Amino acid sequence: MNAPSISAANAWVKTFPSPLFTHADGPLSGLKFAVKDNIDVAGVPTTAACPDFAFTPSTHATVVDRLLGAGAQLVGKTNLDQFACGLNGTRSPFGPVPNAVNAAYVSGGSSSGSAFTVASGQVDFALGTDTAGSGRVPAGLNGIVGLKPTKGLISTHGVLPASRSVDCISIFARTCRPHGAYCCRRWDLIHRIPTPVRFS
């Protein structure tokens, strides 16, 4: 049996003909982002890398809605290890995601597509999820920053759960070094989305 082809296109489940945005101005105006395909975007199938499971949500995940409201532009949805279960970035019917640094290595997962699209410069930042390393592992293997915020800082409403009690939205960026307004806008991404999810 032949090994599946590793292509840069495998990082995407869907790209939009033109970026989605709701506000032309705002603290994130001009920044393009992608979201892992277990995060809901209204009118776009959420597959979790399982086409037979796919459903089409009628509303955005809270975090997507907030980012669009802050002026960011959504480019598309990214590949992942199926159902966000896996740490190598190869367990998807959409194909294995390459490593942006060294093709001899795996990309890491499960948020492989989000990490690759940031590391390869296709977007300014991306969202993934992190339950047990799914954000930090691909960030490390692709040479970028992967932040797992404190649980509850960023709402997971509209995110397909892997393990609801510990799931977190993760944020990917190429750097966290301060360089003027760009850095301020990036921190705004974190601090303007404080919609905690409480569990009793």
> Hey, what domains does the chain have and what are their CATH numbers?
8-191 (3.90.1300.10)
Q: What is the pLDDT of residues 72-120, one digit of tens each?
A: 999 999 999 999 999 999 999 999 999 999 999 999 999 999 999 999 9
Q: What is the pLDDT of residues 39-69, one digit of tens each?
A: 999 999 999 999 999 999 999 999 999 999 9
* % the chain with pLDDT above 70: 86
Where is pLDDT greater, at 182 or 59? Answer: 59
Is 170 in the active site?
no
Are 114 and 34 in contact, with CB atoms under 8 Å apart?
yes
The predicted pLDDT at position 153 comes to 87
Query: Which entry of 92, 107, 110, 155 is annotated as an active-site residue?
Result: 110
Query: Which entry of 112, 114, 134, 155 is annotated as an active-site residue?
Result: 134
Is 110 in the active site?
yes
| pTM of the predicted protein model | 0.87
Q: What is the pLDDT of residues 27-36, one digit of tens each?
A: 889 999 999 9
Is 77 in the active site?
no
Query: Which entry of 32, 36, 77, 148 is annotated as an active-site residue?
Result: 36
Q: Which of 190, 148, 189 is nearest to 169 (CA)?
A: 148
The predicted pLDDT at position 176 comes to 79
Q: Say which residues have a Cβ less than 8 Å from residue 45's Cβ, sequence separation at least 6.
A: 14, 54, 55, 56
